[in-house]
Structure 1
């Protein structure tokens, strides 16, 4: 059926040059409106501050990647950070109130809108610091994170810290004329030394073999003259305790909300007290508060104090809440001893990603291990230590495995220190989580590990060694 003339005319006019011009102008106007709209600014979701003697960390968690520029200002010392593409919100403003008066390095922080889409943070410092500013991609339960790590210009020396706390004999103290400590005789106010102290005294006097049982007998060292240094000071045993996780890395979390990082720190502190109650023993904690220590740094700290043993303490979780029992692990140079051990090692080795390590400044050599003769000997000694500790823990809790297991735990890779990782219990098991939160059970665990350490040294007297230079 033919269309009416007026409809045919309207159809022809829709494609006229004038019509096209009007449509084009309208489209250009619409495009200019959308172009003029500013890009959405990133939003800060959470702010956290982790003060510690080692360093202070400030974390800004946000919903997108951020670009920053930072510089130091002296007299008085300040760190200035400009963050691009960020909107100032109440969460970011709350950072001001999160700086505590006892923070070792930050006096206060000021937050403001420096210019459109740029927020400026000014950290007023208590002393000069070496800042590290870096970003972390989303991982685990975290979104994007912007990290400020403020390190002292002169890094904290773990040996100096032990000397300050009275847990290390200085060379001057060793050479000061004092009443000699006779082998096997207690000092005033002390209980009689146990087998460990007697062996230490014998080693200091040169009257005891330095090999472990079953080895060829050693040639006794000559007796020191009366009043010599060897007759005054016995060889101290240094133990490094490593409470896992900390700071940005909470570790495993139980059904009731208990966090692994809190539980293991409490157990480590109890264990430190008990070990230091033994003659000739001193203890260094790789962390003594709620802050993150990279895996390689934990090993480095133990080596700096020439630790005789390294004990890492954990309370991990498994995919099934029915998993239960305590375990002891040592390093493996040939692969994990079981599928569960491999899964656990892989899970623990993610700590650096979750806790947050500046990869641009990370010593990758610490993350690997050079398997040589010293590492093989370390693993053999670690197995002996692990068996002694596992035997004692078996007296207070069910064992997940009846033997020491092996896997590639990064934190056990000091080639010259016998090292074990103790899984105190599964925090993912509701019954064991309740135990781990109980002060009495924590005390029992500390007692059991202490007895295991004593058992190990009773069968494996420590070798004589020189002072760090």
Structure 2
């Protein structure tokens, strides 16, 4: 089979998946009576080439694509907003290189998609080319990213227009206003017969996670446009699947799971933020995920519900890919808020297969506040002042994340 045959087969497969999405499994989509009339754009290829001073981004679509280019600071990023898009190319096709330090893409709201490019230095994206190939069936966008000075980049950020043309009717506008409220579900880890880790001084993880969750709830409720729910409010056992189910029942925009585990390396201390991945980023991440997932089984927790059909599994995978983009965005905001204020371990954003993060349509992070196996961390974790200050920083990261989400909705 030639490379062209493989590409054609891949396009056919994705087209079939999209048709099945509309016809067979509408429950996985947002409520929108007109969604069946819209056909998503399909990005079939993307690649990056260049160095620290100039990078070229090439993207191929099956259909003509409108786009909006915007800039964000702290950290410096370029955002390309697209109509509803299925990213059908392989993940390894689009990897960070040179001036582009990070790449994320996925769904950013009803009928929208977003690509976010982290920058190693201030830069400007210039549209270098738009063209058609294969008789007009492939539409290509080519951007050149070039370095600029800090003042020029700041001006680009200030000039970025986050408002979209008002093309909706009155009822739709009211619905959009209501959606400006972000629902956060806080998940205090462990509980009941599942005590979690225990510190040298007898501190129990289930109590620490609940106390911090209560402090975080109070901090979040001081922010405008945020509704807070908790998976547990007392010393009650909940299975991991029940925690995920609670987040979905609350129609959560975010799930934040709180933990303070114990590990063999007692000298290791500091906070870590985990997001979901099929493959753990390192041995420590894998070990903690195995421990958390195993504790749920030992405590009598049921496993997560499996998709009953192969088609449903494909759609869940698509939704999960989009959700992971937003989970990573939140993780970066948390780390940015903690830096210089809360001790972090090396490489504080890590990935592993935590079951509590597996809701396909709810962006989720697991925050290890510290390690009870370390005496210094245990003292902080049980200190009310530290807890209040750290909860405030975490709430600030959620607020910044909300501002980014709202910018994409309007």
**1:312 matched residue in structure 2:** 257
Q: Does 1:254 align with 2:210?
A: no
Q: Is the 8 A contact 1:328 1:421 kept in 2?
A: yes
The residue number in structure 2 matching 1:350 is 294
Q: Tell me the residue number matched to 1:290.
A: 235
Tell me if the contact between 2:240 and 2:304 (Cα under 8 Å) persists in the aligned partners. Answer: no
Cα contact 1:240–1:302 (8 A) shared by 2: yes
Give the distance between the partners of 2:318 and 2:226, measured in 1 at CA.
27
The 1-side partners of 2:409 and 2:236 are apart by: 34
Q: Could you tell me how far apart the structure 1 residues matched to 2:313 and 2:264 are?
A: 29
Cα contact 1:249–1:292 (8 A) shared by 2 = yes
Partner of 1:429 in structure 2? 374
For 1:153, the equivalent position in structure 2 comes to none
Superposed, which structure 2 residues align to 1:26-425 within 5 Å? Answer: 220-222=165-167, 229=174, 233=178, 235-333=180-278, 335-357=279-301, 364-365=305-306, 372-425=317-370
Q: Are residues 426 and 369 of structure 1, via their aligned partners in 2, closer, same or farther at CA, if it must alter by over 3 Å? A: farther
Aligned residue in 2 for 1:459:
404
Deviations along 1:365-401, one digit per CA (max 9) or x if unpaired, are 28x9865221111111111110110121223222112
Secondary structure of the equivalent of 2:406? coil
- Structure 1 segments of 4 or more deviating over 4 A? 209-219, 223-226, 228-234, 368-371, 462-465
- State how many pairs are aligned: 251
Match of 2:147 in 1: none
User: What is the SS of the residue equivalent to 1:455?
Assistant: helix
Counterpart-to-counterpart distance in 1, 2:405 and 2:112: 9
Whether the aligned pair in 2 keeps the contact of 1:299 and 1:411 (CA below 8 Å) is yes
Contact 1:393 1:449 (8 Å CA) reproduced? yes
TM-score computed with the length of structure 2 as normaliser: 0.56
Please give the alpha-carbon distance, in whole angstroms, between the structure 2 residues aligned to 1:280 and 1:222.
Answer: 24
Change (3 A) 1:289 1:230: same
Q: CA deviation at 1:354?
A: 3.3
- List per-residue Cα deviations over 1:234-288 (Å, max 9, x = no partner): 6321011100000000010000000000001010011111111111211110011
- 1:451 Cα shift? 1.1
- Kindly indicate whether the alpha-carbon contact (under 8 Å) linking 1:388 and 1:456 is maintained by their aligned counterparts in 2: yes
| Structure 1 residue 461 displacement after superposition | 2.3
TM-score normalised by the chain length of structure 1: 0.49
Distance 1:446-1:232 versus aligned 2 partners, 3 A rule: closer
For 1:442, what is the secondary structure of its paired residue? helix
Shift in Å, 1:454: 1.4
Tell me by how many angstroms 1:233 deviates.
5.0
In 1, the alpha carbon distance for the partners of 2:206 and 2:375 equals 17
Structure 2 contact 180–406 (Cα < 8 Å) conserved: no
What is the DSSP-based 3-state SS (H/G/I as helix, E as strand, rest coil) of the residue aligned with 1:245?
Answer: coil
Q: Once the 2 structures are TM-superposed, how far is the Cα of residue 353 of structure 1 from its aligned partner?
A: 2.4
Q: Which stretch shows the higher mean deviation, 434-443 or 373-382?
A: 373-382
Deviation at 1:351, TM superposition (A): 2.4
- Mapped to 1, the partners of 2:339 and 2:286 lie a distance apart of 22
In structure 1, stretches of 5+ residues that fail to align are 1-208
Instruction: Confirm or deny: 8 A CA contact 2:223 2:399 kept in the other structure.
Output: no
- 2:229 is paired with a residue whose SS is strand
Conservation of the 8 A alpha-carbon contact between 1:327 and 1:400 = yes
Change in CA separation of 1:250 and 1:306 when aligned onto 2, cut-off 3 Å: same
